[in-house]
Amino acid sequence: MTSSGWTHMTDAARASKTPITIAKVGIIGAGQMGSGIAHVCALAGFDVVIFDINEDQLKKSVSNIDKNIARQVNKGFVCDTDKQAAMTRIKTGSSMTILGDRDMVVEAATENEEVKKKIFKELCPHLKADALLCSNTSSISITRLAAVTDRPERFMGLHFMNPVPVMKLVELIRGIATEEATFSSVRTFAEKLGKNTVSSEDFPAFIVNRILIPMVNEAIYTLYEGVGNVRAIDVAMKLGANHPMGPLELADFIGLDTCLAIMTTLHDGLADTKYRPCPLLAKYVEAGWLGRKTGKGFYDYSGAEPVPTR
């Protein structure tokens, strides 16, 4: 092979060797997680663009961010001047062209591997050569997601906890191709958001959900088998294990569809029967009882106080 053959590389590959300074952030998905990520990015001084195909969802996202920062102002955590500045840093759009000048794009779409892969395939042609790509997936292989992009070396997992403005932890997950410069840049970015970081290997559900969601699934089995009712299980874990929220209440907060998706990923990826999703969890998802976001899950949220559904 000629020397030119050895040295030839694309602009993206050449750029990937050098850490980049992240100033402009793009977020894909205007749901709860995407809105939360936009919230903390804007408050930390980053220029933020939120992309979603649903214009109404984008308007709802900006409104929710404004309300949530206002709540922080009322509690004395943020001053009003910082709130106003943060809101001016947020823009929205329903065309991926709006992400073309971003230094980093964080995907926060639904926890579905095929949906995420489709998004990344459509997104890559719009990005500049040195842009970083991250997924906020809570369970899916970073290596597999990166493989459908044109920049696996500049791709990694950046898993925020919910609710993003409150929770201090971010999981950092390298794919097999992720370069050290990418990891370093993204870790620095997370730290600028005021987050603590932990590094996880690219195994199904990473660290937090590898431990947390099977516990939730076991609580659902405890309900399914009639060991205790909803109220008894949640009170037992809050008072007996000093958990701030009972596991069934937590499942409703996370979203039962997300819990099921993570358990399915664990079961498929690790081939261990201890990760088998509880049939009752699957039944609730089939019914559309997904928790707080639909108004009903293990609790009914239609009244002044949540009421157990079993």
Residues marked as catalytic: 138, 159, 171, 209
Which pair of structure tokens corresponds to residue 140?
A: 């899916």
Distance of CA 69 to the CA centre of its chain: 19
Q: How far is CA 148 from CA 115, 151, 174, in A?
A: 12, 9, 15
Distance CA(161)–CA(172), nearest Å, equals 12
